């Protein structure tokens, strides 16, 4: 069953979120601004933050969702396929499903990124990952992250990328 079918045609009424406000799932990282329940499965929107020098997810792909990244502030190092680029505030990246990708904070200041996935459903992956990280003591197990991703149509392809920036 896909996200649209699970949402059963429900679409939230209009709403506005203040800066820093989230829609639901307060422990989910990144923060949920709109999910499949809000959009009848059409899309999901998230806002994420990475500290200086912090890596993002391991190199991976999604088989069910296309993904877009829009940098709100800071510099994000993005790898899409074999291509690596630094994206600054206002930059946008489109990542079609089945495309390997990863990202990391590419600067000495925090980065904020808006993530949009089409169709929705990626919020369930993020919720499962957040639950795993909440109980984690030590470094994450890439094999376990791969199993979590696989349950949601993802495939782990390699370790996180690093930007070579030391938190300062």
What CATH number does residue 134 fall under?
A: 2.60.120.10
Task: Tell the burial category of 121 from Cβ atoms under 10 Å away from its Cβ (0-12, 13-18, 19+).
Answer: buried
pLDDT tens digit sequence for 78-135: 999 999 999 999 999 999 999 999 999 978 999 999 999 999 998 888 888 888 988 8
From 17-21, 50-54, 125-129, the region with the lowest mean pLDDT: 125-129
Residue 15 belongs to some domain of the structure: no
pLDDT confidence band for 4 (50 / 70 / 90): very low
Residue 13 belongs to some domain of the structure: no
CA angle, residues 113, 116, 120, in degrees to nearest 5: 145
State residue 47's pLDDT score.
92
Residue 167 belongs to some domain of the structure: no
Provide the domain count of the chain: 1
State residue 42's pLDDT score.
95
Residue 168 belongs to some domain of the structure: no
Residue 14 belongs to some domain of the structure: no
């Amino acid at each position: 069953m896909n996200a649209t079918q699970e949402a059963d045609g429900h679409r939230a009424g209009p709403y506005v979120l203040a800066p820093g406000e989230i829609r639901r799932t307060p422990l989910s990282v990144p923060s949920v601004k709109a999910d499949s329940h809000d959009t009848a499965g059409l899309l999901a929107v998230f806002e994420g933050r990475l500290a200086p020098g912090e890596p993002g997810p391991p190199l991976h792909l999604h088989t069910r969702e296309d993904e877009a990244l829009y940098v709100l502030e800071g510099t994000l190092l993005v790898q899409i396929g074999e291509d690596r680029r630094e994206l600054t505030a206002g930059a946008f990246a489109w990542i079609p499903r089945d495309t390997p990708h990863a990202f990391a904070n590419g600067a000495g200041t925090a980065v904020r990124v808006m993530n949009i996935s089409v169709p929705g459903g990626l919020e369930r992956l993020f919720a499962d990952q957040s639950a795993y990280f909440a109980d984690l003591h030590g470094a994450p197990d890439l094999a376990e992250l791969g199993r979590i991703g696989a349950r949601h149509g993802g495939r782990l392809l390699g370790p996180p990328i690093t930007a070579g920036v030391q938190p300062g």
